[in-house]
Amino acid sequence: MIRRWHAESTDAAERGRAYGRAWRAELRASLAEYSELFERLAFAPDAVARVVDGALAQTAAHAPAVLDELVGVADGAEMTIAEIMTLNARTEVLALQKPEGGECSTAVFLPADGPPRTIQTWDWLDALSADNLVRSHIAADGRRVVTFAEFGQAAKIGVNSRGLGVHFNILHHVSDGAGAGLPVHILARRILDEAATVDEAVAIAEAVPLSASTVITVVTRDRAVCVELAPSGIAVIAAVPEQLLAHTNHFIDARLSAGEVTVYASTTAERLVCLTDHAEAVALPTGLERALALGAVSDAPISMRPRPESPRHLQWASKATITIDVAAPAIELHAGGPAEVTREGWRRIEA
């Protein structure tokens, strides 16, 4: 279920405390799920603690306002800041070991005379995050931000009232897991809170250390780029007008792809082909039309379903289908993959 929450306070710490009080049970449930996953993956507790401690230090250095909010979340939920940071740094913890499967398919069509048309599936482990949250808040400079994320995370996929949005896909690189890094979910939050242009978003990403890889697709009213990020470097792939820009879970940049780590049983190549073959669906004017058109594709791999032959804790599923409107800033979404989208269940939440 996708839940909804709006923060009234503009004070980061108070906003966090209100979040923690409102979603205490969900935050604790999410932590329990990830703790069980780390145990099943045989992560040593001291290794997890080192990643979380490093994430805390890097957040203090590179995103202190976000840390103020997360401390407030911990206070409101009667949890520790390390527990809340574990939820934000789950990608960095998982970078210690590449699990089976893959997540997320994103596509953008950039018209010659209008804003980008986007769509993404958010795919994740089926045993985790049955409930997620669309939250909105007012950033320090007065802009409004709305973002979809798992409980406890500062951000994931979203848009701000300045007309900048971000999509989000995990990647895997040989440089992952070495050293301390700013969690990629917190990097996404900084971009939403601070950037109004593609160049500003790229500058924020270039300035922070990372310990896990991801690609953040940044869209504004006239541009779209995939910002591929690894601890060893960054690459920017720009959309070409009247063409599709698609990204799944492997690097496109030649230099970074040389360090690609192929995840066992990943469908990243098949999903990229599916998006490319159905570019006309991504080019449709409204988010709902895009989702319904892709959902009508027979056996489309972008609508991921759990594989019963895999262990329960390694079964992947499409948890949400999300589009971003930067012209009248909003996210639109539906639980499940495109194959599950209905007109009645489609929701629009404005920044």
pLDDT of amino acid 264: 62
Encoding tokens for residue 50?
Answer: 């080192």
- Given 94, 124, 153, the domain boundary residue is 94
Claim to verify: residue 189 and residue 332 sit in the same structural domain: yes
Give the list of residues 6+ apart from residue 46 with CB closer than 8 angstroms, or none.
Answer: none
- Quick check: is 338 in a domain? yes
Of residues 231, 189, 227, the one with CA closest to residue 210: 231
Other Cβ atoms within 10 Å of 74 Cβ, number: 21
- Quick check: is 100 in a domain? no
- The number of domains in the chain is 2
Which portions of the chain are predicted below pLDDT 70? 98-102, 264-265, 309
pLDDT of amino acid 316: 79
Q: Tell me, what CATH number does 25's domain have? A: 1.10.10
Claim to verify: residue 90 and residue 114 sit in the same structural domain: no
pLDDT of amino acid 130: 81
- Given 94, 118, 144, the domain boundary residue is 94
Claim to verify: residue 235 and residue 280 sit in the same structural domain: yes
Buried b (16+ CB within 10 A) or exposed e, 288-299: bebbbbbbebee
Q: Tell me, what CATH number does 113's domain have? A: 3.60.60.10
The residue assigned the tokens 């802009």 is: 143
Claim to verify: residue 124 and residue 51 sit in the same structural domain: no
- Quick check: is 214 in a domain? yes
pLDDT of amino acid 69: 98
Per-residue pLDDT of 142-167, as tens digits, reads 999 999 999 999 999 999 999 999 99
Claim to verify: residue 303 and residue 338 sit in the same structural domain: yes
pLDDT of amino acid 308: 73
Claim to verify: residue 88 and residue 116 sit in the same structural domain: no
pLDDT of amino acid 102: 65
CA angle (268 as vertex; 223, 233 as ends), nearest 5: 55
- Residue 43's Cβ-count burial label (10 Å; 0-12, 13-18, 19+) is middle
- Given 66, 94, 122, the domain boundary residue is 94
**For residue 73, what are the domain limits?**
2-94
Model pTM score:
0.96
Claim to verify: residue 219 and residue 332 sit in the same structural domain: yes
- Quick check: is 329 in a domain? yes
- Quick check: is 122 in a domain? yes
Give the list of residues 6+ apart from residue 316 with CB closer than 8 angstroms, or none.
Answer: 101, 102, 103, 123, 124, 125, 126, 304, 306, 307
Claim to verify: residue 162 and residue 61 sit in the same structural domain: no
- Residue 150's Cβ-count burial label (10 Å; 0-12, 13-18, 19+) is buried
Claim to verify: residue 75 and residue 119 sit in the same structural domain: no
Q: How far apart are CA 103 and CA 107, in angstroms?
A: 14
Claim to verify: residue 308 and residue 182 sit in the same structural domain: yes
Q: What is the largest CA-CA distance in the chain?
A: 53
pLDDT of amino acid 95: 92
Claim to verify: residue 67 and residue 110 sit in the same structural domain: no
Q: What is the DSSP string of 111-176?
A: -TTS--EEEEEEEEETTS-SSEEEEEEE-TTS-EEEEEEETT-S-SEEEETTS-EEEEEE--BTTT
Claim to verify: residue 149 and residue 13 sit in the same structural domain: no
